[in-house]
Amino acid sequence: MASDLLQAIDLRKSFGELQAVRGVSLQVAPGQFVAVMGRSGSGKTTLLHLLAGLEQPTAGQILFRGQDIGGFDEDKLALWRRANVGMVFQAFHLIPTLSALENVAFPLYPLKMSAAGRRERAASTLALVGLSDRADHRPSRLSGGEQQRVAIARALVNGPALILGDEPTGNLDGATGAEIMELFGRLRAETGVALLIVTHDDKVAAGADRVLRMADGRLSDEEWNCRD
């Protein structure tokens, strides 16, 4: 649909003989929260990497705001991600030598902007995730939940329309995971960002507008969660 933020059409990905993604089609509307659930090896992480442009599909199309990103080269895809997509990983992937604030500013480093402007934008984004008081802390001095908040702030700092999350609560205990999902929900409400999160955690999926189930490289089921 023209109003879709992201649309995948018959997406396929093979690694040699292994068919990791077999003809997946899906849509994400602006501001929508979509969860993709599946067991390990079901192909959900590969699907996420395809949608993020980190992996080239073997076949199929990915449209972002109606534009096919399949023809983009690596650098154009990087610029596209910088402008439109934030990524959150299970293992946080923070730079250990940088402070929390600097980690948030990390995607801004290649941009031509003043150090003060970069710092200001990173600080305001860090405030969004409630970590202003930890701005100067290195990742090693932050808890797992705090590290993931920093990673979420890093994903938001460029003002993306879509956040792609790969098991963002996978390394966190239940309570902290719930806090992170609550944060995602709040940020979605405040910024209008769409979320597509792959997970095997039912509690994460419970907060989604749509839950897509994936097995053996295919989407096997789709549920809509009703909200009051």
**What is the smallest separation between the CB atom of 3 and other proteins, expressed in angstroms?**
25
Q: Work out whether 43 is an interface residue with other proteins (CB under 8 A).
A: no
Q: Work out whether 74 is an interface residue with other proteins (CB under 8 A).
A: yes
Q: Work out whether 127 is an interface residue with other proteins (CB under 8 A).
A: no
Q: Work out whether 55 is an interface residue with other proteins (CB under 8 A).
A: yes
Q: Work out whether 228 is an interface residue with other proteins (CB under 8 A).
A: no
Residue in 89, 161, 169, 194 binding other proteins, rule: CB under 8 A: 89
Could you write out the DSSP letters of every residue in the chain? -TT-SEEEEEEEEEETTEEEEEEEEEEE-TT-EEEEE--TTSSHHHHHHHHTTSS--SEEEEEETTEE-TT--HHHHHHHHHHHEEEEETT----TTS-HHHHHHGGGTTS---HHHHHHHHHHHHHHTT-GGGTT--GGGS-HHHHHHHHHHHHHTT--SEEEEESTTTTS-HHHHHHHHHHHHHHHHHH--EEEEEES-HHHHHT-SEEEEEETTEEEEEEE----
Residue in 25, 66, 91, 220 binding other proteins, rule: CB under 8 A: 91
Judged by CB under 8 A, the number of residues near other proteins is: 32
Residue in 3, 25, 67, 97 binding other proteins, rule: CB under 8 A: 97
Question: Which span sits near other proteins by CB under 8 A: 27-35, 106-114, 175-183, 203-211?
Answer: 106-114
Q: Work out whether 123 is an interface residue with other proteins (CB under 8 A).
A: no
In the complex, the residues that contact other proteins under the rule CB under 8 A are 45-46, 49, 52, 54-55, 74-75, 78-79, 81-83, 87, 89-91, 93, 95-98, 102, 106-107, 109-110, 115, 154-155, 158, 166
